[in-house]
């Protein structure tokens, strides 16, 4: 999530620059960088190089080919290696074989037991790191991690992991290139969601929200944006493929989402429950040119859809 959202963060870029600059004033190696880790890749989101461009902003490398993997596996303490060719973890590493002897120090960015990324110092020459250096890089890694989490909380819903209302209302600020493109806004509201909270408690209600979020993410096109704006209300922003008819393609996608949601079993107390939903649709720029106006239009059509569906199948299905 963090890698794809990094361009939406307001303060992280300047704070990251200051952290790397502080390291450069204290530790006399060539390169310092912040990376975000994924199961397959390491992504350098910010770097500082004195002379040689060893690591640059945006560099993405296979996870097994970088020292960041060693940092992630080292626990909560910094990994300090003054001589790459003399350390058991790095003497046979592909990077060492490529550059020869050098140095590396890295500290993990840890949140809730998960390693999100690393803050590292690196050079193609050996360097004798001091005890203070490892204390400093650990402290700055903690600060970088907290900044990422705070920035992430500004645009992400804590329960579902989807984008939140704040992200949605600033969508056109983040995506100025979309102002001349057509967009469909799907306003999705779960039917009878109150039943889950009243019958099983709010923990089960939260579980239903998470399952709904998973279902939506799995069944929208790759370039879509999915948000939870509160309670059991979700928004999907759809961008039609080139040549697609906006209205017809949106209707097809909306019906698909309704079908996927209604056939998704939710296991509670050894019983499968199924939910239904109502969808309202508006179109940018035809129905409005700002997000608030578009959401109001989609909300109105959603309630019309909800009333019509109540007449047909407005009930929960239970299978034992």
pLDDT top residue among 5 and 93: 93
Does 271 score more than 60 pLDDT?
yes
Distance separating the N- and C-terminal Cα atoms of the chain: 37
**pLDDT tens for residues 95-127?**
999 999 999 999 999 998 899 999 999 999 999
74: which 2 tokens? 């080292």
Residues 6+ apart with CB under 8 A from 133: 26, 27, 80, 105, 121
At residue 6, does pLDDT exceed 90?
A: no
Q: Which of 223, 210, 238, 208 is nearest to 298 (CA)?
A: 238
Average pLDDT across the chain, whole number: 91
pTM value is 0.83
pLDDT digits (tens, 9 = 90+) for 170-229: 999 988 888 888 999 999 999 999 999 999 999 999 999 999 999 999 999 988 999 999
Convert the pLDDT of each residue in 230-263 to its tens digit: 999 999 999 887 667 888 999 999 999 999 999 9
Q: What is the pLDDT of residue 246?
A: 85
pLDDT at 310: 61
- The Cα–Cα gap between 155 and 9 comes to 8
Model confidence at 318, pLDDT cuts 50, 70, 90, reads very low
- Where do you find CATH 3.30.70.270 in the chain? 165-319
Which pLDDT does position 317 carry in this prediction? 37
- Rounded Cα gap, residues 141 and 109, in angstroms: 6
Q: Evaluate whether 138 touches 77 at the Cβ level (below 8 Å).
A: yes
CATH architecture of the domain with residue range 165-319: 2-Layer Sandwich (3.30)
Classify 242 as helix, strand or coil: coil
CATH 3.30.450.40 residue ranges for the chain: 2-155
pLDDT above 50: residue 314: no
d(C-alpha 58, C-alpha 62), whole Å: 13
> pLDDT tens-digit profile of 13-36?
999 999 999 999 999 999 999 999
2-155: CATH topology is Beta-Lactamase (3.30.450)
Q: Which two tokens stand for residue 155?
A: 């645009």
């Amino acid at each position: 999530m963090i890698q794809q959202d990094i361009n939406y963060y307001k303060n992280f870029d300047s704070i990251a620059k200051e952290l790397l600059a502080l390291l450069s004033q204290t530790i006399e190696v060539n390169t310092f960088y912040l990376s975000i880790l994924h199961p397959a890749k390491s992504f350098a989101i910010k770097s500082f190089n004195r002379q040689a461009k060893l690591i640059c902003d945006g560099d993405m490398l296979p996870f097994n080919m970088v020292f960041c993997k060693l940092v992630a596996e080292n626990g909560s303490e910094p990994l300090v290696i003054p001589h790459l060719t003399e350390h058991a973890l790095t003497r046979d590493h592909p990077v060492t074989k490529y550059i020869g002897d050098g140095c590396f120090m890295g500290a993990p960015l840890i949140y809730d037991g998960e390693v999100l990324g690393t803050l590292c110092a690196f050079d193609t020459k050996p360097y004798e790191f001091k005890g203070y250096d490892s204390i400093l890089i650990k402290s700055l890694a903690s600060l970088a991690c907290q900044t990422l989490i705070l920035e992430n909380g500004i645009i992400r819903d804590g329960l579902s992991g989807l984008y939140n209302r704040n992200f949605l209302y600033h969508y056109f600020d983040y995506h100025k290139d979309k102002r001349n493109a057509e967009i469909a806004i799907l306003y999705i509201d779960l039917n009878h969601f109150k039943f889950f909270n009243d019958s099983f408690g709010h923990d089960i209600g939260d579980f239903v929200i998470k399952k709904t979020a998973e279902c939506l993410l799995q069944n929208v096109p790759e370039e879509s944006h999915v948000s939870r704006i509160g309670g059991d209300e979700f928004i999907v922003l759809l961008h039609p493929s080139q040549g697609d008819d906006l209205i017809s393609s949106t209707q097809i996608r909306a019906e698909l989402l309704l079908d996927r949601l209604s056939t998704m079993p939710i296991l509670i107390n050894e019983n499968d429950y199924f939910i239904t939903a109502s969808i309202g649709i508006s179109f940018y720029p035809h129905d409005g040119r700002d997000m608030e106006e578009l959401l109001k239009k989609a909300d109105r059509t959603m309630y019309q859809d909800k009333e019509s569906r109540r007449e047909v199948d407005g009930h929960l299905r239970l299978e034992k």
